[in-house]
Amino acid sequence: MDLFKKLITVLSSDQVTVNPTILEHHSKDESHFSAHLPDVVVFPQSAADVQKIVTFASEHQVPVVPFGAGSGLEGHAIPVQGGISIDFERMNQIIELRPEDLIVKVQPGITRMQLNQELKKHGLFFPVDPGADASIGGMASTNASGTQAVRYGVMRDQILDLEVVLADGRVIHTGSLAKKSSSGYHLNGLFVGSEGTLGVFTEITLKLHGIPESIVAARACFPSVKDCVETAVSILTAGIPIARMELVDARSIMQVNQYSGTDFYEVPSLFLEFHGNEEGNTADALFVEAICSEHNCTEFIFEKDSLKRAQLWKARHDLSYSFRHADPKKEIIGTDVCVPISKLADIVEYARERIHFYGLDGAVLGHIGDGNFHTLVVYDPENAEDVQKITDLNGEIVDFAFTLGGSCTGEHGVGMGKMKYQRQEHGEALDVMISMKQLFDPKNILNPGKLIPMKQESALTRE
Ligand SMILES: Cc1cc2nc3c(=O)[nH]c(=O)nc-3n(C[C@H](O)[C@H](O)[C@H](O)COP(=O)(O)OP(=O)(O)OC[C@H]3O[C@@H](n4cnc5c(N)ncnc54)[C@H](O)[C@@H]3O)c2cc1C
């Protein structure tokens, strides 16, 4: 079937393309998984357009894969069975901003930075900040988080309502404008994190937050990663409302100094931030400084200047890119497990020991306040031994996280990479998830080959 010819009868011709460069752009994301071309890319401008695309796909049993900014790290947006890639770049508007209700309704293609640029004018901000400038649709779809989740929560905590086009073309709302509700099943919770496998989002209503009157950042340096982790646990258990608490090991800081031109001490560190009023922040920061000294802190440096603070967090957000761009022949792979915070020191030590065991070059960093950390490991994709080592390392860290009661992914999602761990993590609950997928998407057209290992995967028919 010539999808292009058929789709231009459903949409206008400038909304459908088979341009090779555009197909190539939609064949991959930021993960290490192999690219796969879609047959066609479409650019909807409204929910009605999305409804037409999904209805068409359902009638013709063609896979549809939503595409946000393509920054996913587990191959989520790769159209592994071809079909239609839906790009949301033309649906990137704020639909309604209600500052007095701390609510904004947006189209899914808006990116987090675009949104925050607009919100700033109203003294508001949206706190979820993955390292990339991801789209709100993609972030909702992967239940993304970032450096501020320790204080404000993850995407699932911010979403009041989603407008979703279902596989059969029906359009539903999963919530309301109310800040809380005890009505019905929690469909927001189900659709957030569904990675495009249950429905396509066309409108997202988010909770907002006021920009704090005072923001103070600090860097605390330690002799070991273990000291950092133990400090983080003490800060949390002391009940201090920390807004950001990031672990960055010596290897990471070395890389960031090279990439970002910073001159941070190249030792294991915590990057910290406090949100509130000046008096409260000063008291909290001093309390934290005292806790740090009890854990062998060697330096505690305040970053009160807003430019220095911005530089600190930009350097942190650019960390992944700093490794990626260091050597074009090498790739990096990141692990993303999450464990109860009391077990964090154990697994961080374990991860460092395994990286050393395999003789790999790798860093340990992460959103330590949530029990979520990453390793970033450099490897040569052409070297079979290297590939085997990073595969084994990833599996070992996931297995260890399970033994500690943790999850195989804290924020990057399942996509293709973590599908093989779903049975181990969820047991019989995975069968319930498979039943849900069959209920919402009986023809398995919505982002097939991701998140849920479906038995009939290969049976998807194409005309
Ligand atoms: C340098 C770097 C740092 C990162 N740091 C973090 C981090 O700290 N925390 C974190 O959580 N992630 C992080 N990520 C991963 C990534 O940014 C997130 O997974 C993000 O949520 C993906 O958003 P996206 O717009 O790029 O989506 P895409 O990659 O385009 O798509 C992701 C998934 O969302 C689906 N999707 C997109 N739009 C819709 C829609 N409208 N309806 C339904 N489904 C849709 C896609 O089908 C796909 O399954 C990082 C990535 C990079 C490259």
Section 47-52 average pLDDT: 98
Q: 179 is written with which tokens?
A: 């800040």
Lowest-pLDDT range of 76-90, 111-125, 297-311: 297-311
List alpha helices for 250-343, DSSP H. 250-260, 278-294, 306-317, 319-324
What is the largest distance, in Å, between two alpha-carbon atoms of the chain?
A: 69
- Is residue 66 within 6 Å of ligand 1 at its C-beta? yes
Reported as a pLDDT band with limits 50, 70 and 90, residue 320 is: confident
Section 297-321 average pLDDT: 90
| pLDDT tens-digit series, residues 414-441 | 999 999 999 999 999 999 999 999 999 9
CA angle (316 as vertex; 102, 308 as ends), nearest 5: 80
Nearest CA among 419, 360, 367, 430 for reference residue 390? 360
pLDDT at position 303 over 80: yes
What's the predicted TM-score (pTM) here? 0.95
- Is residue 363 within 6 Å of ligand 1 at its C-beta? no
Question: From the CB of residue 304, how many other CB atoms can be counted at a distance below 10 Å?
Answer: 15
pLDDT at position 457 over 70: no
* Residue 48 Cα distances to 51, 64, 165, 377, 427, angstroms: 5, 16, 9, 43, 38
* Residue 86 Cα distances to 18, 46, 74, 99, angstroms: 13, 12, 18, 31
Q: Which atom of ligand 1 is nearest to the CA of 321?
A: 1
Cα distance between residue 254 and residue 258, in whole Å: 6
Q: 201 is written with which tokens?
A: 């989002």
- Is residue 144 within 6 Å of ligand 1 at its C-beta? yes
Query: Which three-class secondary structure state does DSSP give residue 348?
Result: helix
pLDDT at position 462 over 50: no
| pLDDT tens-digit series, residues 154-195 | 999 999 999 999 999 999 999 999 999 999 999 999 999 999
Q: Give the distance, in angstroms, between the CA of residue 175 and the centroid of all CA atoms in the same chain.
A: 22
pLDDT at position 129 over 90: yes
* Residue 456 Cα distances to 33, 423, 438, angstroms: 22, 17, 10
Section 442-462 average pLDDT: 76
Cα distance between residue 228 and residue 223, in whole Å: 9
* Beta carbons of 162 and 201 less than 8 angstroms apart: yes
Q: Which helix (H) or strand (E) holds 219?
A: strand 214-221
User: Terminal CA-to-CA distance of the chain, rounded, Å?
Assistant: 6
CA of residue 73 to ligand 1 center, whole Å = 7
Nearest CA among 254, 288, 269, 291 for reference residue 223? 269
pLDDT for 317 equals: 87
| pLDDT tens-digit series, residues 73-102 | 999 999 999 999 999 999 999 999 999 999
Cα distance between residue 43 and residue 19, in whole Å: 13
pLDDT for 325 equals: 83
- Is residue 76 within 6 Å of ligand 1 at its C-beta? yes
- For ligand 1, mutation pick of 87, 367, 412, 451 (most atoms within 8 Å of CB): 412
List alpha helices for 8-71, DSSP H. 20-25, 47-60
- For ligand 1, mutation pick of 90, 106, 142 (most atoms within 8 Å of CB): 142
- Is residue 406 within 6 Å of ligand 1 at its C-beta? no
- For ligand 1, mutation pick of 45, 71, 165 (most atoms within 8 Å of CB): 71
Section 112-116 average pLDDT: 98
Q: Which atom of ligand 1 is nearest to the CA of 411?
A: 11
pLDDT at position 456 over 70: no
* Cα-only R_g, the chain: 22
- Is residue 65 within 6 Å of ligand 1 at its C-beta? yes
Nearest CA among 125, 146, 112 for reference residue 212? 125
pLDDT at position 264 over 60: yes
